[in-house]
Chains A and B, each alone.
Chain A
């Protein structure tokens, strides 16, 4: 069975501060990993994805994530957040041989001035 754990349901941070949103996964086979962002009343938008190769993945809006196979983690980071980054962030995985995305429960990032 596969699963995704997002350890923090909510992360408050001040504008221009760095942030890390944590994601751990469980799978017995190779996986693709994704981070999606959901702004209020909108659908999910892909931030970045890890397929293979370099473990550091850069995405849109200045976000990046690092795949760590030994720790089964895929944490999302941004060195300096903006008010506009306030949103819900979802980590997801898909086994390379399957079609279904498995999501974590989400982390709400709250950026305040």
Chain B
């Protein structure tokens, strides 16, 4: 099916463990984004990518790593999870035309215990 999918939808992990959240889009959009959603903060940008092998930091990048070896995939890795990284994570993608909106995945609810 066309669209943007995130996996897993729910994840519980322990402090200090590495965890990777997956994001896959089928539109061949150039731009991809990772946001975290927290009460009182709305959505904050973690990392974004303009194309394969091009990534850049957003507002809250500390503790996260991204890669983009293929246009359709944009995984987000928490190298050593902390309780403060408990959040809902959203992946989004957008085409290259300046006026197009971003399309969002269903989100991954991550709990760090």
Q: Which residues of A contact B (CB under 8 A)?
A: 6, 32, 34, 36, 41-46, 49, 51, 90, 96, 99-106
Cross-chain contact of B31 among A44, A90, A99 (Cβ < 8 A): A99
Closest to B102 in A: A101
Main secondary structure of the interface of A (DSSP, over half): loop
| Inter-chain CB contacts under 8 Å: number | 50
Chain B residues near A96 (CB, 8 Å)? 98
* Contact residues on B (Cβ < 8 Å of other chain), bracket: 20 to 34
Cross-chain contact of B43 among A45, A49, A51, A90 (Cβ < 8 A): A90
Cross-chain contact of A105 among B40, B50, B94 (Cβ < 8 A): B40
A-B contact pairs, 21 of them (CB 8 A): A6-B42, A32-B99, A34-B101, A36-B104, A42-B107, A44-B104, A49-B99, A49-B101, A90-B42, A96-B98, A99-B31, A99-B48, A100-B33, A100-B58, A101-B45, A101-B92, A101-B102, A103-B44, A105-B40, A105-B41, A105-B42
Q: Which residues of B contact A (CB under 8 A)?
A: 31, 33, 35, 40-45, 48, 50, 58, 90, 92, 94, 98-99, 101-107
Among A34, A45, A101, chain B packs the most CB atoms within 10 A around the CB of A101
Chain B residues near A104 (CB, 8 Å)? 42
Chain B residues near A45 (CB, 8 Å)? 104
Say whether, besides A43-B104, A44-B104, A99 and B50 are in contact (CB < 8 Å). yes
